[in-house]
Amino acid sequence: MLHLYKEDLPPTLAAVLELERQEGFEQGIEQGIEQGIEQGIKQIITGLIETGADDQWIAEIAKLPVAKIMEIRKELK
């Protein structure tokens, strides 16, 4: 198994690897935030569905297609 250590690499390669690592970290953070937002929206929509709100009304409020609301409703059954 090949082990690479930062201090053993040429300065430019080490910088490229560090940049790639940082970009990967940032991308992971962004994806986590997006997933969290989506889960939060889904929880709110689920709550509205459970209170008996109309799909069309929920779609207008959430600024989502009615089909998405119907999909969430089906998942609850």
Structural domain boundaries of the chain? 36-77
- Which pLDDT tens digits describe the chain residue by residue (77 residues)? 456 665 666 668 778 888 888 999 999 999 999 999 999 999 999 999 999 999 999 999 999 999 999 999 999 98
Q: Please classify residue 69 by burial: count the beta carbons closer than 10 Å to its beta carbon, then call 0-12 exposed, 13-18 middle and 19+ buried.
A: buried
Sequence-distant (6+) residues with CB within 8 A of 69 are: 45, 49, 55, 58, 59, 62
Q: Give dist(CA 12, CA 24) in Å, integer.
A: 18
Q: Give dist(CA 13, CA 24) in Å, integer.
A: 16
